[in-house]
């Protein structure tokens, strides 16, 4: 007779559980926080160390109507500047829609800050009054690392960040 629980048999359940745990820690750490940079640094750290499929985890800040500059991140160095018209991050900033690429070689204008990157998810962070604060970018060296489970947990997190730090 097996003693394994259903979650040990289902990687999607494990991933969802890890997101729930990470979110609980993030909510506690950000409770009452008003400093946007401290928040970005904390979220990047918590997410990056919660998932083996996260190899670059961080933020690009919208500093103009058409330009992103890197913010707090974990992982190897990232590109410092990205115009809205370029790359997966630019597409997320421009469209304000999550960009989910299981294989970045399918993304027409993916910017390879690291040649090891194989898949990527980028989620925009928008305030309740419709200003773009930036994007959360996660890259993986594993093909097909991101799916709807990642989207379903990262989008509400980014919505919360937009609400809590909308005055930043």
DSSP 76-95: S---SEEETTSHHHHHHHHH
Nearer to ligand SME, 36 or 101 (CB): 101
- The strand order across the sheet containing 119-126 reads 81-83, 67-74, 56-64, 132-140, 119-126, 99-101
Nearer to ligand SME, 137 or 150 (CB): 137
Instruction: Compute how many other C-beta atoms are within 10 angstroms of the C-beta atom of residue 136.
Output: 27
Considering beta carbons, is residue 109 or 163 the nearer one to ligand SME? Answer: 109
Binding residue (CB under 6 A) for ligand SME from 57, 137, 153, 158: 137
Longest CA span, the chain = 60
Q: Name the nearest CA neighbour of 79 among 104, 103, 59.
A: 59
Q: Which of residues 66-95 bind ligand SME (CB under 6 A)?
A: 78-79, 82, 87-90
DSSP state of 75: S
Between 56 and 165, CB nearer to ligand SME? 56
Task: State which residue, 72 or 164, has the beta carbon closest to ligand SME.
Answer: 72
55 is a site residue for ligand SME (CB under 6 A): no
Instruction: Please list the residues that pair with 135 across neighbouring strands.
Output: 60, 124
State which of residues 120, 150, 153, 164 lies at the interface with ligand SME (CB under 6 A). 120
Contact residues: ligand SME, CB under 6 A: 56, 78-79, 82, 87-90, 110-111, 113, 117, 120, 137, 139
């Amino acid at each position: 007779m097996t003693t394994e629980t259903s979650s040990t048999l289902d990687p999607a359940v494990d991933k969802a559980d890890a997101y729930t745990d990470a979110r609980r820690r993030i909510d506690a750490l950000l409770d009452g926080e008003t400093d946007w940079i401290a928040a970005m640094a904390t979220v990047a750290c918590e997410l990056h160390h919660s998932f083996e499929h996260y190899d670059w985890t961080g933020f690009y800040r919208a500093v103009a109507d058409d330009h992103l500059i890197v913010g707090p991140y974990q992982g190897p160095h990232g590109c410092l500047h990205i115009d809205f018209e370029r790359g997966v991050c630019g597409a997320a900033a421009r469209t304000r829609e999550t960009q989910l690429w299981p294989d970045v070689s399918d993304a027409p204008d993916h910017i390879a800050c690291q040649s090891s990157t194989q898949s990527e998810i980028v989620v925009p962070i928008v305030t309740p009054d419709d200003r773009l604060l930036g994007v959360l970018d996660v890259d993986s060296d594993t093909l097909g690392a991101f799916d709807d489970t990642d989207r379903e947990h990262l989008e509400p997190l980014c919505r919360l960040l937009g609400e809590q730090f909308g005055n930043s």
